[in-house]
Amino acid sequence: MEELAINGGPRAAEPLEVPEWPQLNDASKRYVEESLESGDWCRNSGGEFCDRLEEEFAVYHDAAHAIAVANGTVAIELALRACGVQPGDEVIVPSYSFIASASAVPAVGGVPRFVDIDVETYNIDLDHLEEVITDRTVGIVGVHFGGYPMDMDRLTDIVEDNDLFLIEDAAHAQGSEWRGEKVGTFGDFGTFSFQESKSLPSGEGGIVVTDDDVLADRARLMHNIGRRQGATGYYHYHLASNRRLSELQAALALGQLEKLDAENEARERNERVLLDELESIDGIHTKPRDNRVTARGYCVENFRYDAEAFDGLSREQFIQALNAEGVPVGEGYEMPLYRQPAFYRNEVARFLPADAEIPDYPNLHLPGVEEICRTNVAYSHRMLLADEAGIRSVADAIRKVQAKASELLSD
């Protein structure tokens, strides 16, 4: 076998050509130009693109309502406020995700309670979830991590049995389905992000979906400084912030939505090829195949790395060697959310009532998420848009590193 690329040899993944991201399509360009030429750049100026995006996103999800907002973080905050979170209420959140999945809770005055992660799926551990629920719990923010859906059969039963609200953070999961139904539509709200790295990007931006007419009315009121839907005057019914999306970003997102399904189908085909290859490599653990997952959306994708199968080569050395072979992978989120300095007591306490019981987050130990933080290897959804030869070369590169691992240990 040829010498490792990190030691000067040829790259095993030379055929892998990962496309640039985001990709501007003709529809996005046309809609943005129309919005620019109209002069209606703010939603309240009479533009059409926020309305069109909401209508088409709702239809795409077979949802009754969609409300476009400034980003995915405020989408979660808006959903929490519309669900009625009060100061000191406890909301269960994942311990492995982008920080907004948990930081949105104290931002609206609630107390986040972290739940462990299932190492197989990277989603919340439903056994631990049932243990974490107390009489102070009012709801759950659950993440479809990497676009891989949570077990919505069991999760919705837990929510109903305990009279909780459910917010599905689907920032990673544009287009994912559970038993033929789009994720984001099982709970009280689904929240989505259009940030530039997402598979449906508009630079920044987000949206919430719901089938509940009352919740939708609350969310619309709260996203537009307390104004009624469509109102632009100075009559405000509720103390609220401005969470509106601009017309320009809505136009960009609308065009991106038109190509989402085709890109997801390509990603899903390539993922099947990659999984077939990776499952034959000792020490590489991929997510389970579940026939209840009937379509996949993507953002980051992941596998777990077992150093013992690579002669004890550390994950950091493995990633460096794989990068050198031409495969763009990384560690993903470096630590459980409860270890983030943002969740130190003095930080969280600024948002909560004086008598709120704040957990000792930095000293929390949840084994599933801590294992993932030691073993996870992540890659972007855009790698799954390469051609099949490039996808297969990813596995070739891993096999090469595995066969030559002892050389890296002796360096």
**Annotated catalytic residue within 227, 287, 381, 404:** 227
**Annotated catalytic residue within 89, 169, 188, 211:** 169
227 catalytic, yes or no?
Answer: yes
Is the preceding peptide bond at 22 cis, omega within 30 degrees of 0? yes
**Annotated catalytic residue within 244, 381, 382, 404:** 244
**Annotated catalytic residue within 57, 98, 148, 305:** 98
**Annotated catalytic residue within 234, 235, 350, 355:** 234
From the list 287, 313, 311, the residue with the least C-alpha distance to 372 is 287
CB 151 within 8 A of CB 159: no
Q: Judging by DSSP bridges, how do beta strands 206-210 and 189-193 pair with one another?
A: antiparallel
402 catalytic, yes or no?
Answer: no
The Cα–Cα gap between 406 and 183 comes to 44
244 catalytic, yes or no?
Answer: yes
318 catalytic, yes or no?
Answer: no
Question: What Å distances lie between residue 111 and 86, 114, 343, 348, CA to CA?
Answer: 10, 10, 11, 8
**Annotated catalytic residue within 61, 128, 198, 404:** 198
169 catalytic, yes or no?
Answer: yes
The Cα–Cα gap between 347 and 207 comes to 28
98 catalytic, yes or no?
Answer: yes
**Strands of 81-175, DSSP E:** 90-94, 111-115, 137-143, 165-169
**Annotated catalytic residue within 195, 249, 256, 402:** 195
**Annotated catalytic residue within 61, 144, 172, 287:** 172
From the list 297, 253, 269, 256, the residue with the least C-alpha distance to 386 is 269
Q: Which residue has the tokens 């987050």?
A: 361
**Strands of 187-272, DSSP E:** 189-193, 206-210
Q: Judging by DSSP bridges, how do beta strands 189-193 and 165-169 pair with one another?
A: parallel
198 catalytic, yes or no?
Answer: yes
298 catalytic, yes or no?
Answer: no
3-class secondary-structure state, position 392: helix
The Cα–Cα gap between 263 and 181 comes to 19
User: What's the N-to-C CA distance of the chain in angstroms?
Assistant: 18
CA torsion, points 9, 15, 21, 25, in degrees to nearest 10?
A: 160
CB 274 within 8 A of CB 303: no
**Which residues belong to the active site?**
98, 169, 172, 195, 198, 227, 234, 244
